[in-house]
Structure 1
């Protein structure tokens, strides 16, 4: 077997464009769509840096039909002419040299104090990773045109032409290369999100997005930056006004390192319905936060806990709040800046500066203390809500632990769930669970069923209306917890304070069909509706996936003189059938499932070939389904009365008037 030689000549240094084209994830964090998106942000960052310095207040982005991208600004224009110091053209430095640019000397007042892009790393790396890049720059009375392909300047690719106008700005158009990135189809939603976020943290700068494919235009501008954004998110539902402060400082991350400048802008409000935490640094959105996130969590928890203690708001022996209780009602955005920034990596999703964290922690603590003093009445209202959040969370956690204890124990269904009758097969693709009304139905169905794949669970009386009851009360109901045990898939909790209760796993569902089987009378319909409501609230995915059915049971048995038997499932169906008969017959009204003989029960309700099942579907609009449940079973009695008055005539034939 041959062995590959590893010699001195095996060592290869990547040069030029290959440094990016062969290893894009080193610069952009990924060679997939995420990396491609980051390359766009590198170009956008340079225009934003210029606008923040007061050069050009409008930035336009075009998403072209061929997936190429244009970023156009009216700033000073990138310097691309000959550089006497470096003895090279600046276009060579900026577009073809990594780590060359105009943002490294922060002592020079002519360049950038707080920089988002590095105008040399990102711009050069994006050029290297492009199928082509065409650049038009207006500066110093000249128009400069540059053309690159696959990371290289094309022949005659640098053109300088004098113009009479004094217009300035840069236009960069490029197409990310599929030889570099696996996917370059950046969705319009990404551009919308990025430009909106940048408009939030760059007050007064207008961002325009043009999508050529749809020919739609989008504009984003926030004149007052993060303050306007907090107002927008709160949507007039906040329980406090927007509080804004900003401060600057100097410090260092380590004793032997030089000082650097930091500035922070912070706006927050408290809200009962929505919450939000967003962090930006030098205008870059920090998806993972880092130092600012740690500062916010520490400072808010410390100051609010101190205020609660001072106001004697804790109950005796009550545990202190945690940040999650605050976060449930907090809308907060921070926008920090620094002349020295330590990102976790080039994708800039978190910063790690120790001094920024310490500085922001102190600033937030100081301003929160002022806020509590100056806005005492509002602050008391806020901490009351935070304590509600805390107590709801703790109650939910206790309920979750009790529920987990109830559901997680390995059980023998026959012994642990009263009157549950299992089937033999373990094949979940054919297993059926019949949820029955009462013990009498259990007796009839037990004799009628196919015990290989049909299991039975009787409901003892009417279950709770799960739309009205809270989770604590729901999970104290033995009927409901027995049903959840038998289903096997846990419960789905989607509400704000009870996310900890969510134990749902669809793969653990033990049944292909869950069939609700009740008498065809008013009481049966109500039980059916209450069971559906329980499923809707606790395991709605079973409705979405089509696992829930209703078994139609016949209202009438019609026996003809020639010995045949027919079943009718409604008054109308009975009358229509009787009109077709030309022989003597007798009609017997069903007295309920428990009165049926096994053969009839099998034929009408349990035999897969002859039964009538109604599959419960959620294909309708989710909010319409939610509205109907609220109308029929919610607290709005007046709304229910109005609905019955308006729609009752459509259900007259279903009334049991006999």
Structure 2
């Protein structure tokens, strides 16, 4: 039997540079498999979406190439990559090669009031996890280009006068099979992700170009009214009630000893006896596991529908109070919220845990349901009776 290696002071080592991601990708991306690889793709796409939401660019194009590489092109301001006197380093070194570096730490002050990610990890981590990456940036009248290979820069930053007037960033990279156990992200992921981002970013055009098949295909997603158009699409002609859309802003606080933060909320819903759907988005991330918005919708809908049933005497004698399962069976509901302070369950952003968001969204929904029931009593009666049937 081989002797075990001694556990001594020299046994403790720290990962440096690209190895911090390449040897432990699941810590950053949630998985070292195809889900982690997909999340890395979303990290690059989300940066372009943040730019568009700030008002810079109306179209984002994601391209899948035959060699397995991926490209995201936007019309934003272009990543600042030139020399940073304050940091005494080039910005390209910071954003592509330094963890926890980026332009979103001043969110709510100068830019990116509502952002998909504020950790300063996504671009750098994806670069580290790539077989190779190229970056082209157009800003300040110049075209910048930089190359990377397996997490390390190849050559210096190239800078030349721009031959085009528009600004923007184009990132192309190939996920590294030495980092992820599976880099074959299915086409369905790209289609689903691009559509979801179009849903929650009203008016933004997201274009998916796929060159991996026998023929090149182009799919464009755009919802001019965002989640309102989406709920109408889901309900079709089978809606029990028309789509209701509401929006508001509020100040929230997670704990008494913590500062207030701003929350922007919108919701679109209708009732149907053929289709049911619950979808929550926060800062454009699809909250697959919900969290705070899910708690809000469960509390608000049960509370207000129960109050209406009692007020109208629609409960039969001895009948038990409705539950959210009764409501969910006929509800099509999509919420789209943003906050300047967000607590995600983990780096993959599939749920948020902010108590303040849950509280203000609950009150927001209660108020709008109360107004809706008062203004549309016939619709309220119809949907409440359907809930009782459920």
User: Shorter-normalised TM-score: what interval?
Assistant: over 0.9
Residue of structure 1 equivalent to 2:276: 275
User: Unaligned stretches of 5+ in structure 1?
Assistant: 390-658
Count of residues in correspondence between the two structures: 387
Could you give the per-residue CA deviations for residues 142-189 of structure 1, whole angstroms, max 9, x where no partner exists?
100010000000124x21111253220010000000000011111111
Residue of structure 1 equivalent to 2:379: 378
In 2: Cα distance, 1:342 partner to 1:315 partner: 43
In 2: Cα distance, 1:163 partner to 1:239 partner: 55
Residue of structure 1 equivalent to 2:308: 307
Is this contact kept in 1: 2:144–2:159, CA < 8 A? Answer: yes
Instruction: For residue 332 of structure 2, give the secondary structure of its aligned residue in structure 1.
Output: strand
Q: Does residue 257 of structure 1 match 2:258?
A: yes
The within-5 A match list for 1:92-491 is 92-109=93-110, 111-118=111-118, 120-156=120-156, 158-214=157-213, 215-389=216-390
- Decide which structure has greater strand share: 2
In 2: Cα distance, 1:144 partner to 1:349 partner: 35
TM-score norm. by structure 2 comes to: 0.98
Is this contact kept in 2: 1:140–1:166, CA < 8 A? Answer: no
Is this contact kept in 1: 2:108–2:340, CA < 8 A? Answer: no
Is this contact kept in 1: 2:108–2:114, CA < 8 A? Answer: no
In 1: Cα distance, 2:29 partner to 2:206 partner: 24
In 2: Cα distance, 1:93 partner to 1:81 partner: 10
In 2: Cα distance, 1:370 partner to 1:193 partner: 34
Is this contact kept in 2: 1:67–1:186, CA < 8 A? Answer: no
User: Unaligned stretches of 5+ in structure 2?
Assistant: none
Could you give the per-residue CA deviations for residues 31-72 of structure 1, whole angstroms, max 9, x where no partner exists?
000000000000000000000011000000001111110000
Instruction: For residue 250 of structure 2, give the secondary structure of its aligned residue in structure 1.
Output: strand
In 1: Cα distance, 2:117 partner to 2:160 partner: 28
Residue of structure 1 equivalent to 2:77: 76
Residue of structure 2 equivalent to 1:540: none
Shift of 1:249: 1.0
Q: Does residue 7 of structure 1 match 2:8?
A: yes
Larger Rg: 1
Residue of structure 2 equivalent to 1:43: 44
Could you give the per-residue CA deviations for residues 175-230 of structure 1, whole angstroms, max 9, x where no partner exists?
00000001111111110000000000000000000110231110000000000001
Could you give the per-residue CA deviations for residues 295-348 of structure 1, whole angstroms, max 9, x where no partner exists?
000110111011111111111100111101111110000000000100000000
Larger relative contact order (Cα-Cα within 8 Å, sequence gap ≥ 6): 2
In 2: Cα distance, 1:107 partner to 1:323 partner: 35
In 2: Cα distance, 1:294 partner to 1:330 partner: 15
TM-score norm. by structure 1 comes to: 0.58
Shift of 1:250: 1.2
- Moved segments of 4+, more than 6 Å: none
- Decide which structure has greater helix share: 1
Cα RMSD (Å): 1.0
Is this contact kept in 2: 1:136–1:145, CA < 8 A? Answer: yes
Residue of structure 2 equivalent to 1:430: none
